[in-house]
């Protein structure tokens, strides 16, 4: 896999017409679909459509190719055959994994640019800072950086069973890991224990780091943990949780898709039960 350099300005010796271009209309990415494969267009391909491009954000360099994110000012009434606007989730698995991750970076940076065109302190127009991924207010000097919202997500294990919950906004009868955002002044381990207790009434200990995943819906960083049951009975006190149960490997519900760290956590638990 090629290494992506996260730069804030392009190199002068690059062929910018070949730049990989992530063009978004709101939360939909403009792609070229060829059967089961999805291609991210180059700038020259994008230019041929004569679309009105709005915000521009340089993402970095991938194997000598520039990476540029664009905001489409309006949605075209009709695209050439094979071109379409698609939600990020819908192209997972059809586009290269690294480009999918970069598309997630692109939509978050465009959202940041869109939301920080004016200073949140004094209302003045902001300016991009040369050589840094930030904006600065020329009037009051306030800096703004792309926002990341850390959230913890975890498996809770008890004697061969795993605690999974059904969110009230979940589609179908899917169950997933308990998750929630980290609060100010809180460690990640404290956030794990608080979220599980608040959402299910279960107490946990032995909180262990599992892994992380950027989640651009819209700007989360999901931080995964394994935790052990330490006491309590399931009592639903959070309005966001419709149900929570202990599941064994032989009695699993509908699970989240493989795009998510939630599925990686559950699959890891299943593998350990079979070892």
pLDDT digits (tens, 9 = 90+) for 108-129: 999 999 999 999 999 999 999 9
Residue with the bigger pLDDT between 119 and 171: it is 119
Residue with tokens 């004697």: 159
What integer is the mean pLDDT of 231-259? 93
Identical topology for domains 4-115 and 149-274: yes
What integer is the mean pLDDT of 70-89? 88
**Structure tokens belonging to residue 53:** 């491009």
The CATH fold of domain 4-115 = Nucleoside Triphosphate Pyrophosphohydrolase (3.90.79)
N-to-C CA span, the chain: 31
DSSP 139: T
Question: Considering only CA atoms, which of 58, 67, 70 is closest in space to residue 3?
Answer: 67
Residue with the bigger pLDDT between 238 and 201: it is 201
DSSP 102: H
Q: What are phi and psi of 271, to 5 degrees?
A: -65, -40
Domains in the chain: boundaries: 4-115, 118-146, 149-274
- Cα dist. 144→16, 113, 125, 140, 183 in Å? 28, 10, 12, 12, 20
* pLDDT score of 5: 61
pLDDT digits (tens, 9 = 90+) for 58-76: 998 888 889 999 999 877 7
Residue with tokens 């394994």: 226
Q: Quick count: other Cβ atoms within 10 Å of Cβ 50? A: 7
- Predicted TM-score of the model (pTM): 0.87
**Structure tokens belonging to residue 209:** 């780091």
Residues of the chain above pLDDT 70, percent: 95
- CATH number assigned to the domain with residue range 149-274, chosen from the 4 options 3.40.640.10, 3.40.50.2300, 3.40.720.10, 3.90.79.10: 3.90.79.10
């Amino acid at each position: 896999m090629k290494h992506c350099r996260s730069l804030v300005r392009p190199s002068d010796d690059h062929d910018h017409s070949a730049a990989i271009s992530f063009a978004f209309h709101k939360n939909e990415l403009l792609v070229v679909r060829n059967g089961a494969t999805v291609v991210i267009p180059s700038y020259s391909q994008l230019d041929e459509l004569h679309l009105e491009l709005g915000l521009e954000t340089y993402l970095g360099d991938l194997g000598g190719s520039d990476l540029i994110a664009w905001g489409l000012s309006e949605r075209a009434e009709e695209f050439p055959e094979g071109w379409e606007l698609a939600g990020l989730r819908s192209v997972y698995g059809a586009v290269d994994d690294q480009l999918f991750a970069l598309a997630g970076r692109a939509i978050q940076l465009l959202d940041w640019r869109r939301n920080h065109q004016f200073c949140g302190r004094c209302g003045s127009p902001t300016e991009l800072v040369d050589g840094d991924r930030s904006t600065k207010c020329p009037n009051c000097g306030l800096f703004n950086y792309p926002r990341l919202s850390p959230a913890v997500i975890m498996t809770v294990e008890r004697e061969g069973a795993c605690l999974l919950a059904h969110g009230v906004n979940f589609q179908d009868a899917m169950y997933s890991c308990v998750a929630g955002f980290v609060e100010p002044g809180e460690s990640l381990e404290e956030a794990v224990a608080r979220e599980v207790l608040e959402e299910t009434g279960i107490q946990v200990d032995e909180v262990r780091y599992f892994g992380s995943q950027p989640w651009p819906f819209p700007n989360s960083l999901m931080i995964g943990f394994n935790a052990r049951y330490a006491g309590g009975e399931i009592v639903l006190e959070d309005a966001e949780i419709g149900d929570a149960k202990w599941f064994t490997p032989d009695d699993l519900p509908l699970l989240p898709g493989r795009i998510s760290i939630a599925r990686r956590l559950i699959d890891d638990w299943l593998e350990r039960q079979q070892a």
